[in-house]
C-alpha cells in the first residue's frame, strides 16, 4: 500500500531532522527516511555531522587539548602532576558515548513531535513518489505532497591515495585510530585536515600536512590565515604548501607517499595517512531517471534561493546544494523550506553564515574578507586587537591571535569580522547578530562589554576601526563618524 504523507524528508542529518521536526510542529504529517547505521547496527539519526564529523571530532579535539594542557600547560598555573598517561581507547569510548547520547536525543525528539521514521535508503521517483529500500532488501513506496532532499555528503576520494584499511583513511577513519601514529600524514590543509591533524599532534604524533595549493586557507582573511599558519606551525603541524601527492604505496602497516613539491619529486613514509581534500554531494542513487530533478556537472542539485528544485513540491537542502557544506546552513535551510510551506517567510542571508575551524586557537569569521572587499573597490577602515592585550586571555594563558573588524569607510557599516584566538566562534557569532541588523563599528564601540571578558577584544577592535581604541596604540587617529548606517 502506498502511504501518503504531507512531507517526506530523505536524510536525517542536521538539515533533514530539523526540517522533519519543524514540519511536524506545524501540523504536517511527516516522515523522515534514514539508512545510516551506528556501531550497534541500529539506524542512527544526526547524519555525518553527529556520527562521523562535527561532534565526534570536537569530542576528540577537546580530549586531546586537555591532554596537551596536562603535559605542557598546568605547570604555569602552579599545578604539578606526574606524567599524564594517555588512554586512546578510553578517549574513543567517550567520543562514542557523546554521539550515542545525541542519537538518542534526536530519536526522542521525533517521538515527542510525532515524526515517523522509516529505516532504509530513500530514492525519489516521478510524481513525488519515494521508494524506500530497507537493509534487508525489502522495498516499499510512499508518496508526499512535499519532498525535502537532505542526503548530505561524503568524503572525496583521490586516485593517488585510495583508502586502504587502517593505513590510508578518510576523515571518518581518522576518528578511530586506536593508537597514536608516530608519523602521520594529512592530505589537505582545509578545515578537516587541520582539525584532525591537531588532534593527533597534541597526542604526540609527528604531523605533516600536504596541501596542493600554494596558498594557506584561501577562503580565510589573509591576515588571519598568516597568523594561523604561524601558530599551527609552532604547535608542531608541518604545513607544506604546493605539495601535490602523486601516488601512494602501502607497505605493511606503513605507507610510502610520492609527491611533487617545488618542481621536485619526493617520497615520504608515514604510519598513517588521512585523506581530507573535501566532500562531495551524496546524490548517487538518490534520483530516478524520471524524477525530473536537475543536477549540475558536479552532482549538486539545482535550486533557487528558496531551495526549490526543478520539480514543483520538491526541495533540496544542505550539502547537496550550492553554498558551504555547513551543518548550521543545512539546518536553517530546512527551517526555511518547511516554514515556507505554511506561508511563513524565513529568508536566509547567505552572506552572513559564520564559519569556524576548531583548531586551538579557533579560527572564525563572518562576512567578507579584506582582500575580497578591496577587489570590489570598497574603501575600508580596519581595526584589530591582539589577545595578548586582553586581560582575560592573559589570565587564562591563552593569548595567541587577534580580532579584526572591517568596516565601510563611508558608512562605517561592519562588513566582516575575523578572529583567531580563544572563543573565536562565540565572538564572531556576537557580531553576526549585529551585522544582520546593519550595525556600524561605532555602534559596537558604544556598547558596554563586561570586564574581564574575551569579548572586550571585539569591542576594542571595533573602536580601533575609527582610531578610538583604548588598550592599544591606534595606528591613526580618526574622528568618529557623524552618522552610522542602519
How far apart CA 123 and CA 125 sit, in angstroms, is 6
What's residue 481's pLDDT? 55
What's residue 128's pLDDT? 96
The answer, yes or no, to whether residue 1 has pLDDT greater than 80, is no
The third-level CATH classification (topology) of the domain covering 168-277 is FAD/NAD(P)-binding domain (3.50.50)
Instruction: State the Cα torsion 298-303-307-311 to the nearest 10°.
Output: -120
Catalytic residue list: 451
Q: Which residues pair with 408 in a beta bridge?
A: 380
Supply 26's cell numbers. 506545524
What's residue 478's pLDDT? 56
Question: 372-393, pLDDT tens digit by residue?
Answer: 999 999 999 999 999 999 999 9
pTM (predicted TM-score): 0.94
Tell me phi and psi for residue 357, to 5 degrees: -115, 120
Question: 443-474, pLDDT tens digit by residue?
Answer: 999 999 999 999 999 999 999 999 999 999 99
How far apart CA 470 and CA 473 sit, in angstroms, is 7
Domain with CATH 3.30.390.30 in the chain: 361-465
- Give me the CATH code for the 3-155+280-350 domain, please: 3.50.50.60
Q: Please, what is the average pLDDT of the chain?
A: 95
What's residue 486's pLDDT? 43
CB count within 10 Å of CB 108 equals: 10
How far apart CA 255 and CA 185 sit, in angstroms, is 9
Q: Report the top-level CATH class of 361-465.
A: alpha beta
Strands, E assignment, 128-222: 129-133, 139-149, 153-155, 168-169, 183-187, 206-211
Question: 14-72, pLDDT tens digit by residue?
Answer: 999 999 999 999 999 999 999 999 999 999 999 999 999 999 999 999 999 999 999 99
Domain with CATH 3.50.50.60 in the chain: 3-155+280-350, 168-277
- State mean pLDDT over 103-130: 97
User: Is the distance from CB of 69 to CB of 155 less than 8 angstroms?
Assistant: no
The answer, yes or no, to whether residue 485 has pLDDT greater than 70, is no
Tell me the pLDDT band of 74, cut-offs 50, 70 and 90.
very high
Question: 406-438, pLDDT tens digit by residue?
Answer: 999 999 999 999 999 999 999 999 999 999 999
Question: 289-348, pLDDT tens digit by residue?
Answer: 999 999 998 999 999 999 999 999 999 999 999 999 999 999 999 999 999 999 987 789
The answer, yes or no, to whether residue 439 has pLDDT greater than 70, is yes
What's residue 352's pLDDT? 96
Amino acid at each position: 500500500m502506498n502511504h501518503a504523507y504531507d512531507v517526506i524528508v530523505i536524510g536525517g542529518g542536521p538539515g533533514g531532522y530539523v526540517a522533519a521536526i519543524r514540519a511536524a510542529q506545524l501540523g504536517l504529517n511527516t516522515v523522515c527516511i534514514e539508512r545510516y547505521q551506528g556501531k550497534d547496527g541500529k539506524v542512527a539519526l544526526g547524519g555525518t555531522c553527529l556520527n562521523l564529523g562535527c561532534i565526534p571530532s570536537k569530542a576528540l579535539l577537546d580530549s586531546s587539548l586537555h591532554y596537551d594542557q596536562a603535559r605542557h600547560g598546568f605547570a604555569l598555573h602552579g599545578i604539578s602532576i606526574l606524567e599524564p598517561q594517555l588512554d586512546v581507547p578510553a578517549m574513543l569510548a567517550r567520543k562514542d558515548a557523546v554521539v550515542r547520547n545525541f542519537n538518542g536525543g534526536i530519536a526522542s525528539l521525533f517521538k515527542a513531535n510525532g515524526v515517523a521514521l522509516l529505516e532504509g535508503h530513500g530514492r525519489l521517483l516521478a510524481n513525488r513518489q519515494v521508494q524506500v529500500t530497507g537493509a534487508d532488501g525489502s522495498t516499499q513506496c510512499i508518496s508526499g505532497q512535499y519532498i525535502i532532499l537532505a542526503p548530505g555528503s561524503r568524503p572525496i576520494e583521490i586516485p593517488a591515495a585510495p583508502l586502504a584499511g587502517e593505513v590510508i583513511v578518510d576523515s571518518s577513519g581518522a576518528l578511530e585510530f586506536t593508537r597514536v601514529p608516530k608519523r602521520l600524514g594529512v592530505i589537505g590543509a582545509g578545515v578537516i585536515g587541520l582539525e584532525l591533524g591537531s588532534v593527533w599532534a597534541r597526542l604526540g604524533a609527528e604531523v605533516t600536512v600536504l596541501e596542493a595549493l600554494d596558498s594557506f586557507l584561501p577562503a580565510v582573511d589573509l591576515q588571519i590565515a598568516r597568523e594561523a599558519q604561524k601558530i599551527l606551525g609552532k604547535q608542531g603541524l608541518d604545513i607544506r604548501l604546493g605539495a601535490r601527492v602523486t601516488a601512494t604505496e602501502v607497505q605493511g602497516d606503513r605507507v610510502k607517499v610520492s609527491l611533487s613539491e617545488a618542481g621536485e619529486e619526493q617520497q615520504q613514509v608515514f604510519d598513517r595517512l588521512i585523506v581530507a581534500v573535501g566532500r562531495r554531494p551524496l546524490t548517487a542513487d538518490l534520483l530516478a531517471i524520471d524524477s525530473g530533478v536537475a543536477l549540475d556537472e558536479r552532482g549538486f542539485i539545482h535550486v533557487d534561493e528558496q531551495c526549490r528544485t526543478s520539480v514543483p513540491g520538491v526541495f533540496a537542502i544542505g550539502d547537496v546544494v550550492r553554498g558551504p557544506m555547513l551543518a548550521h546552513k543545512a539546518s536553517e535551510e530546512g527551517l526555511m523550506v518547511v516554514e515556507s510551506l505554511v506561508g511563513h517567510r524565513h529568508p536566509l542571508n547567505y552572506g552572513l553564515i559564520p564559519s569556524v575551524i576548531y583548531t586551538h586557537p579557533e579560527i572564525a569569521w563572518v562576512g567578507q574578507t579584506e582582500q575580497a572587499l578591496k577587489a570590489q573597490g570598497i574603501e575600508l577602515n580596519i581595526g584589530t586587537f591582539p589577545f595578548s592585550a586582553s586581560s582575560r586571555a592573559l589570565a587564562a594563558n591563552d593569548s595567541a591571535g587577534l580580532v579584526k573588524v572591517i568596516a565601510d569607510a563611508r558608512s562605517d557599516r561592519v562588513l566582516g569580522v575575523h578572529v583567531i584566538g580563544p572563543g573565536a566562534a562565540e565572538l564572531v557569532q556576537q557580531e553576526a547578530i549585529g551585522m544582520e541588523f546593519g550595525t556600524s563599528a561605532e555602534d559596537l564601540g558604544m556598547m558596554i562589554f563586561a570586564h574581564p571578558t574575551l569579548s572586550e577584544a571585539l569591542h576594542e577592535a571595533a573602536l580601533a576601526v575609527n582610531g578610538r581604541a583604548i588598550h592599544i596604540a591606534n595606528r591613526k587617529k580618526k574622528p568618529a563618524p557623524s552618522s552610522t548606517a542602519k
